[in-house]
Amino acid sequence: MRTATRQAPQEMKALQLAVGGARATAALRRGRLVQRRGLRPAPVQAVLEEIVTTEDERLRVAEVAAALDRRLARDFGSGSGSNGNGNGNGSAASAAATEQVVSPGDDDRTRFQLHWSVDMWQSFYPSKWVEGLDDPNTPVPDRIRQFTETLTNAVSTAGILGSSETARYWAYHLSRTGFFVVQGLAGLLASRASNGTDGPSPLLRSTRGVAGPLTEAMLMFYQDHELIKEGKYALPWDMTTSGHRQFNPLYVLQRSAAFLNEASQTLRRRGEGRNDPIWLKSGLLPDYYADGFHYQTDGWLSSRSAKVYETSTETLFVGRQDAMQRGTLVPLRDFMAGKDASQMTALEVAAGTGRFATYVKDNYPGLQLTVSDLSPFYLAEARSNMAYWKRMRAPDAQLGGVDGAGVTFLQTAAEKLDVPDNSQDIVYCVYLFHELPLSAQRAAAAEMARVVKPGGIVILTDSVQDGDRGAYQTLGNFGDFQEPFYRDYIKTPLGPMFEAAGLKCDMKLVGSSSKTLTFYKPAEDDKFAAAGTAQAAAQAAAQEVAVEGLQDE
């Protein structure tokens, strides 16, 4: 049974498209939104091409298009009229507007249904939450007092002491964050000792700006726990499993030692602004893949890299990465409602070490999952992680697949998936697109659309982009950490890319530094065949245009 978000009747689908133009126009007038192409052709032309069936309906939708044109003419001097100053430069003003680029965040608002998290993170500024904490001019006792008061208020607001389960969740995640903060500091100290770095103490440098990551983590954990309470997914299995290896001091020491060694080398390369040569050359790998990322040892092409990757990334995000990735499970829960997981097939594209795949399996043990990646070394680590999940969580279950976990492992590139057409109910991808050149992004989107079944869903979780977070004005700086395609990624709207591949936009969710976009592949009989007419949608859109016009005057 399809979810409510994808059962919208014909007029509602038309309304989403048509009203998108009105909202985008209002955003453009407020100075938030600039465009690469005309506003009206995107939403209204889609209505004309895909929905209307009679001449009367075409005329009615044309009225909405004309209304939008009049608003553009009024606000920007588009068309043949003047620009409002009597100088007749309307065409020039319109041309200047269309040369500018719409931010992905604003483009998303015209295409996706927005989860409550979107506006929460858009308006969240960590620096305002604990103003003065990072200010060296603020006395240390005042900073400690302010942080204590803020934390106390946060505990009260989040209801941390409201139940034993809630208290357990927060105790686990706060202690985990504390561990990764300390480990990050240790990595900086190790780098200084190993590389002989001069300048300010690493401890001093690391404590500058500490408020931002910590407050981001607190709000991310709040969202994560709220979604658990909503029933979107279960508590993290690594938190609830007695005897999990992460509670074994010897295991933790081994992982920490590997991280400290890697951190020292990574920071050395970053300081030098160059990476060491990747040891493996292969004509089977795309050029961009052999260059390495994040200044990490061996790029993606060694077991050493695979074994330290999870610790490195969680340290970077002070323990909130798992919670950010779990946003992928929200649309998955909506899609799986009423379905038998054992009869469903899913594909994870670019699964890396497979850590997130274990969360998927823990929520849907019977799901037949294919875990894919281009690196055989990371696939081997993914197999190890999945086997550990099976041993700890479902030792007696007969799930089939490799190691009895109901999982198949596949070495394949995202832009050329070795998967049959229309074979997967679910396709999801976490943290890949920001590491691909634009041509590979488009190819990967087309491939995911190809392999998903009609009526199935595609879920993309990746870094936030321009326009998603008001607080992130220097987002592109992450590109300095050997992310060669990141600056282009954050400026490229993803909705149009997946629509061009034949998918429909559904829902958007944001979680701190990550965003989750959901798409679905229309069923063969779902070409807007539900009851309703485009005329109703056009009337609703025209009414919204009129109301906004009155509010502006």
DSSP string, 351-370: -TTSHHHHHHHHH-TT-EEE
Whether 350 contacts 382, CB under 8 Å: no
Distance CA 353, CA 383 (A): 8
Q: Cβ distance 455 to 350 under 8 Å?
A: no
Q: CB neighbours (10 Å) of residue 443? A: 18
Geometric angle at alpha carbon 498, from 45 and 443, rounded to 5°: 130
User: Across-strand partners of 511?
Assistant: 514
Pairwise CA distance, residues 553 & 549, whole Å: 6
**Residue at 382: amino acid letter:** A
How far is Cα 127 from Cα 121, in angstroms, rounded to an integer? 13
Where on the phi/psi map is residue 35: left (φ > 0), alpha (ψ -120 to 50), or beta? beta
Q: What is the CA radius of gyration of the chain?
A: 25
DSSP 261: H
Contact criterion met (CB below 8 Å) for 68 and 40: yes
Q: For residues 368 and 81, give the distance between their C-alpha atoms in angstroms, rounded to a whole number.
A: 60
With b for 16 or more beta-carbon neighbours within 10 A and e for fewer, the 447-472 pattern comes to bbbbbbbebbbbbbbbbbbbbbbebb
52: tokens are 């209307």
pLDDT of residue 535: 52
Single-letter code of the amino acid located at 162: G
Q: For position 33, what pLDDT does the model report?
A: 38
Distance (Å, whole) CA 435 – CA 288: 9
| Cα distance between residue 215 and residue 437, in whole Å | 32
Which residues partner with 505 through β-bridges? 519
Whole-angstrom Cα distance, residue 156 to residue 151?
A: 9
CA-CA distance, 516 to 520, in Å (whole number)? 13
* Cα separation, 94 vs 285, whole angstroms: 45
- Alpha helices (H) along 394-533: 438-451, 486-489, 495-500
pLDDT of amino acid 50: 45
- Taking the chain, what is the end-to-end CA distance rounded to the nearest angstrom? 46
Chain-centre distance for alpha carbon 294: 19
All structural domains of the chain, each given as residue ranges with its CATH number in brackets, are 4-100+533-552 (no CATH), 126-319 (no CATH), 324-520 (3.40.50.150)
Stated pTM of the model: 0.75
Residue 433: left if φ>0, alpha if ψ -120 to 50, beta else—which one? alpha
CA distance 96 to 9: 38
pLDDT of residue 306: 86
Distance between CA atoms of residues 42 and 48, nearest Å: 10
Q: 541: which 2 tokens? A: 């859109």
Name the β-bridge partners of 171: none
Helix axes 55-76, 10-29, angle to 10 degrees: 10
Q: How far apart are CA 483 and CA 472, in angstroms?
A: 17
pLDDT at 15: 41
Q: Give the SS3 label for residue 350.
A: coil
Contacts of 260 by beta carbon, 8 Å cutoff, 6+ apart: 183, 186, 187, 190
The Cα–Cα gap between 366 and 400 comes to 9
Task: Report d(CA 502, CA 451) in Å as an integer.
Answer: 12
Asked whether the beta carbons of 149 and 540 are under 8 A apart, the reply is no
Under 8 Å between Cβ of 336 and 376: no
Task: List the pLDDT tens digit at each of the 553 positions of the chain.
Answer: 344 444 444 444 444 444 444 444 444 444 433 333 333 333 444 444 444 455 555 565 566 555 555 554 554 444 333 333 444 444 444 444 444 578 999 999 999 999 999 999 999 988 766 555 555 566 656 655 666 666 566 656 656 666 888 889 999 998 898 888 888 888 777 766 666 554 443 333 434 455 678 888 999 999 999 999 999 999 999 999 999 999 999 999 998 888 787 777 776 666 666 666 777 777 788 888 776 665 677 676 778 888 988 888 888 888 999 999 999 999 999 999 999 999 999 999 999 999 999 999 999 999 999 999 999 999 999 999 999 999 999 999 999 988 999 999 999 999 999 999 999 999 999 999 999 999 999 999 999 999 999 999 999 999 999 999 998 876 655 545 557 899 999 999 999 999 999 999 999 999 999 999 999 999 976 644 443 445 555 565 566 556 555 555 5
